[in-house]
Chain A
Amino acid sequence: MSGEATVGRRAGSRRAQAIRQTVAAAPFLLPSLVLFAVFVFYPLVRSIWLGFHATDPFGRNEVWVGTAQYHDVLTSSDFRHSLLVTGQFALYTVIPATAIGLYLALLSHRRLPGIVVFRTIFSSTVATSVAVSSVVWLLMLNPSVGVLNYILGKGGVPTESWLTSPTWALPAVAMTTVWMNIGFATIVILAGLQNIPEELYESARVDGAGRWSEFLHITLPGLSPTLLFVSVVGVIFAFESFGQIQILTQGGPLGATNVIVYSIYREAFLHYNIGLASAQAVVLFVIVLLLTLLQFGVARRWVFYR
């Protein structure tokens, strides 16, 4: 038997084995792969393609228009405005939700009788959908019979038509979103607190560290990956927000709450401007991707991982 033949047969049997393995694994992987191909990868490519084409008002007769629509999106003041509004919305939602979540988690982290009840209450808003919380807050924010204006009025603060005021509409929608996201933030931060080893606190106490110093030197560094996770997810949530805008303000007043996803929805499904909406979606995809990568890049530099 010549050496070459053995090598050839070995390569052949290796190929046969690879084929056998592929055939065995295929039924396990194909259901997911087919669904991802149809509903994730194809739409991504198709969106980019649609961005290069203009259509008639029924979304038909696609005509190649080159980069014109991408150029329009990137230079239009409307889209820049949407981007700015979305950025503000992220700022108004992520920082308060993370801070309140941190406060509620620290408050309910102690071992006290009955603490489970409080933890459950603090995390309960995770059950509320965007539709439920919007309906709930629509009532609270009602300018004439709403509770918020009643309480503010009692406190001598001037009342507002929250959702129809160009100044207050975005903060008001952000407030409903913060309330909805508090539960998620509290749950995740509580779990993060449980992951900080008790010994660190014990040795700090031996060294005579005060509560504030404990918080600064043990709790905060120990929580940094958790806080980063909560804020990354929060920013992504903000960039994907739609329901609360559609229910509470429809993007108004005067575009004050016209966040990107709402703008895409309006262009595509109300104005049938499929090409332009797709170009916006592609730009949104790039932004979300960059934000995620950027935040993880920053994380590697300063977040303390055990």
Chain B
Amino acid sequence: MTRRSAGRAALRLLAWLPVYGLLAGSAAVVMFPLYMTVVDSLQPIAKFLTFPPDFWPHTPVWSNYRAAMTSIPMPRYMANSLIMATVITVGEVVTAALAAYAFAFMRFPFRTPLFFLFLSTMMVPWEISIIPNFQTIQRLNWLDTYQGLTVPFLATAFGTFLLRQHFMSLPRELKDAADIDGYGDLRFLLSVVVPLSRAALATLAVFAFLQAWNQYLWPLLVTNDPNMRTVQIGIASLQSEEVQRTNVVLAGTIVALLPMLVLVIGFQRFLVRGLTAGALKG
């Protein structure tokens, strides 16, 4: 009997074989561009400019990665991106949590119109405001500074909306009990609401960090000093400046991508929740 069930399991697996074939084939196609980038990042430069291309690094040059961290300013770029993305993430979480708290727990005049005013900012694509915003940053003397890179992004309507939806799902009795205990609003937010909202806050944080790290247009506009370049601007400009070291630049590209791959895979659950927040609302 066990043999028969084992046989049936094997048969079922056999039936799924074409599906696994499709899955593996599709995965190979999706991963192919990144795979080739890794292969080329391990090639010696002489091999790099030859045809036909190699699909396997026969003599992997691991020192390309060391060169990426020493002979081009990758560490500086990475640090700039890390500082920028961290400041934006913390800022977005704080401003969004405060505003979402007001919309979910406080009563005040014009609450609904104000909420719609917040939401309306999502209808204004950032690319449309780049000229006046560039002028503002220029007038503040914030070009080539971390303020210039971060301050315009410290508030988020999407994050406020996301957190408000979650705060509204918390039981009302919590607020009543906190009122009786004489908790002020800030204390209630910090000691009750925040601990109960870790997943929602993490969703916003993952989302904000990924977006900030991957920004391109704004950092390109507000930084001229090579020391202030973010990693995205860095690899894009090195790619055209360092033609003789394309393999090293590609190693740098992989290094720039890795933290985000880890973030996306490690926090997949939160990311999915954030990405679908708009879709499932209907």
Contact = CB atoms under 8 A, between A and B. Distances in A.
Interface in A10-48: 18, 21-22, 24-25, 27-29, 31-33, 35-36, 38-44, 46-47
Interface in A119-177: 120-140, 144-147, 150
B161 to A, nearest CB: 12
Given A32-B98, A112-B19, A281-B131, A187 B152 contact: no
Interface string B140-165: 00000000000110111100100000
Given A32-B160, A130-B216, A229-B278, A147 B128 contact: no
Contacts of B46: none
B271 interface: yes
A36 B23 contact: no
Given A135-B236, A136-B34, A285 B107 contact: no
B268 A120 contact: yes
Interface string B44-66: 00001111110000000000000
A127 B279 contact: no
A243 B278 contact: no
Contacts of B210: 126-127
B95 A125 contact: no
A90 interface: no
Contacts of A59: 135
A118 B126 CA distance: 34
A132 B256 contact: yes
Contacts of A118: 23, 26-27
Contact of B129 (A25, A44, A125, A145): A44
Nearest to A227: B279
Looking at A50, A112, A135, A140, the one whose CB has the most chain B CB atoms below 10 A away is A135
A226 B279 contact: yes
A247 interface: yes
A47 B129 contact: yes
B10 interface: no
Contacts of B235: 131-132, 135
A149 to B, nearest CB: 9
Contacts of A226: 279-280
A145 to B, nearest CB: 5
A146 B125 contact: no
Contacts of A31: 94-95, 98-99, 154-155
Contact of B216 (A122, A131, A140, A274): A131
Interface in B1-46: 16, 19-20, 22-23, 26-27, 30-31, 33-34, 36-37, 40
Looking at B96, B215, B249, B280, the one whose CB has the most chain A CB atoms below 10 A away is B280
A54 interface: no
A124 B221 CA distance: 28
A67 to B, nearest CB: 18
A127 B211 CA distance: 9
Interface string A97-124: 0000001100110101001001011111
A109 to B, nearest CB: 11
B275 A188 contact: yes
A135 B253 contact: yes
Given A144-B51, A268-B130, A243 B216 contact: yes
Contacts of B135: 46, 59
Given A28-B99, A121-B31, A147-B36, A135 B239 contact: yes
B17 to A, nearest CB: 11
Nearest to A121: B27
Nearest to A128: B257
Interface in A259-306: 261, 264-265, 268-269, 274, 277-278, 281-282, 284-285, 288-289, 292, 305
Interface string B70-108: 000000000000000000000000111011011000111
B152 A39 contact: yes
For the complex, would chain B's binding face be called helix, strand, loop or mixed by DSSP majority? helix
B282 A120 contact: no
A236 interface: yes
B114 A29 contact: yes
A108 B23 contact: yes
A305 B282 contact: yes
B132 interface: yes
A234 interface: no
B222 to A, nearest CB: 11
Interface in B214-258: 214-217, 220-221, 232-233, 235-236, 239, 246, 249-250, 253, 256-257
Contacts of B256: 129, 131-132
Interface in A235-268: 236, 239-240, 242-243, 246-247, 261, 264-265, 268
Contact of B250 (A33, A38, A50, A139): A139
B229 to A, nearest CB: 11
B265 A292 contact: no
Interface stretch (B116-124, B175-183, B197-205): B116-124
Contact of A28 (B37, B50, B106): B106
A32 B130 contact: no
18 contacts: A21-B107, A28-B98, A28-B106, A29-B114, A31-B154, A35-B154, A120-B265, A121-B27, A134-B236, A135-B235, A150-B51, A192-B276, A226-B280, A243-B236, A278-B131, A284-B128, A285-B124, A289-B123
